[in-house]
Structure 1
Amino acid sequence: MTTTPGRPRPRTRLIATDLDGTLLCSGGTVSARTAAALAAAEQAGVQVVFVTGRPPRWMQQVSPHIGGHGVAICSNGGAVVDVRRGELLESFPLRVEDALAVATALRTRLPGTSFAFEYPGGFAREPQYEVPMWGSDENHPIGPAEELLGTGGPVRGLFKLLAKHPDLDPDKLLAAARETAGHLAEITRSSPIPLLEISAPGVTKASTLARWCAEQGIDRSEVVAFGDMPNDLEMLAWAGTAYAVANAHPEVLAAVRLHTVSNEQDGVAAVLEQLLDDQAA
């Protein structure tokens, strides 16, 4: 773990951590060491909030591994979920007209782009969208974006619009999409494949985390955040203290001053153990 001397930081009151590639090991599990560190943090009165690109329905996969910790900010800020009860607490949906405008713009600039939709009722996709998705073996709506989002269509309260391209470099795809449609929505990525994650304007991990912390009376200086991919950058910049795991995207490693070891080496736990020791001293 790399640290830099400086002024004493405020007492930590909230841990905000990404899941995939940051907290979770390969296969989407949590190591015994990390589970113990999370439990110790909560026992010490430090709130743990998972801040993830995963949609709310994907939290079912990891809830047995992350234990009874309370809140998850899902879909890059698009939804807030009570993990214990599986209850949607709040959402910040992408408007239908904005989603359709983004789809039109990206199809024009990046031919071959196809779309999928995460919303309270589940997910839907265009026929060309073939990336495996958890639950894709279940019955779900399939059709053109205009039909799925249109009057009478199933998609309402859109947490996140997904845009997939068959062969572009993921970082080049992100840059082109932001140039083309960044004025219409928040566009980011967290996958190793050419797959974009699109939220309502102004909705990011940082915006929803900031809102949650304000409701809890927690200042940003009292937040320690962890991440690994471009969709974490706003959150890492907002938090009073931020760490990139060693396996993070190069842009994240360059932007974040403090680094810890990789997710496979329990990088989040390593920091939490030291932080709790320091606060107990």
Structure 2
Amino acid sequence: MTEAPAAPPVRRNRRSHRVRLIATDLDGTLLHDDKSVSDRTVAALAAAEQAGIEVFFVTGRPARWMDVVSDHVHGHGLAICANGAAVVDLHQGRRIVKVRELSREAALAVVAALRLATPGVSFAVERTSGIHYEPEYPPLFEDPGAVVAPVAKLLGEEGSYPGQPVLKLLAHHGELEPDAFLRLAREAAGQLAEFTRSSSTALLEISGSGVSKASTLAGCCAERGIAPEEVIAFGDMPNDLQMLDWAGTSYAMANAHPDVLAATTHRTDSNEDDGVAAIIEHLLSAP
């Protein structure tokens, strides 16, 4: 078992704020390594909602991969998917209710810049309708509906994919170290789009400028009149960093990436030890 203590929530500012929303990443955070949701976590999330606290799942996953929680957690709250590019209603069959797309022009410019800066890179395109990839791109999850073609064709001409906006571009490199790949990509094309990563491999996730878990979560909270100080967030990888910085109280999982551990004050147990549930239980038991 991991020794990391499940510390009680501590606010960044001097005033005490009632918690109104829990924002949690999925892989490496809420889910066990086998992608299951423990009974303890299911119970903790249900108790939070019964106490009037909203639950948002905030993930790099696309909407079609959200059955991992919607089937087992009874459709709690909303899901912010694809690192902020889509807002999904889990109560309505994983229906996408908001899209923040990556433009074709920006995607093509990123492709050109990365081809020059990191030879050997291959690409995939995640649309609202599914993922498509280049022949050289290693599909991490087989998708029978995927189109395999050069990325220029996958991005298509204007209007060639009606009603299927691009949520993110994925870039893979077979030789570079993951964090080094991210640094090189940001240096080469950071002015064109948002770059982050959540995989243990050299796989980058590229969104439209200004699109992130944090910015979409901030917009959803503003619509509900929820301030950052009323939000607790949980995460483990670089794509969680902006969200963890935005929320009033943030927890890094014991298994988190070193950058996440360095950027957060609070810690909880690992995903395997139900670290999110431990904090929720403590929160609900406090007088």
Tell me the TM-score normalised to structure 1 length.
0.95
2:7 is matched with: 2
TM-superposition CA deviations, 1:64-96 (whole Å, max 9, x none): 123220200000000000012111110100000
1:149 is matched with: 155
1:224 aligned counterpart, secondary structure: strand
Q: Is residue 2:184 matched to residue 1:184? A: no
Cα separation, 2, equivalents of 1:137 and 1:3: 42
Query: How many angstroms does 1:244 deviate by?
Result: 0.3
1:243 aligned counterpart, secondary structure: strand
Q: Is the 8 A contact 2:193 2:207 kept in 1?
A: yes
2:38 is matched with: 31
Alignment size in residue pairs: 277
Instruction: Point out where structure 1 has 5 or more consecutive residues left out of the alignment.
Output: none
Cα separation, 1, equivalents of 2:70 and 2:18: 28
2:144 is matched with: 138
Query: How many angstroms does 1:61 deviate by?
Result: 3.7
Q: What's the % identity of the aligned pairs? A: 57
Q: Is residue 2:85 matched to residue 1:78? A: yes
Q: Is the 8 A contact 1:173 1:194 kept in 2?
A: yes
The residue type equivalent to 1:19 in the other structure is: L
1:217 is matched with: 225
**Superposition misfits of 4+ residues, deviation over 3 angstroms:** 2-8, 152-156
Q: Give the alignment of 1:14-163 within 5 angstroms.
A: 14-85=21-92, 86-133=94-141, 136-151=142-157, 153-154=160-161, 156-163=164-171
2:132 aligned counterpart, secondary structure: strand
Tell me the TM-score normalised to structure 2 length.
0.93
Cα separation, 2, equivalents of 1:95 and 1:176: 22
Cα separation, 1, equivalents of 2:8 and 2:262: 15
The residue type equivalent to 2:24 in the other structure is: T
The residue type equivalent to 1:58 in the other structure is: W
User: Which of these residues, 208, 214, 234, is aligned with residue 200 of structure 1?
Assistant: 208
The residue type equivalent to 1:138 in the other structure is: P
Query: How many angstroms does 1:130 deviate by?
Result: 1.3
Q: Is the 8 A contact 1:186 1:199 kept in 2?
A: yes
Query: How many angstroms does 1:5 deviate by?
Result: 6.6
1:21 aligned counterpart, secondary structure: helix
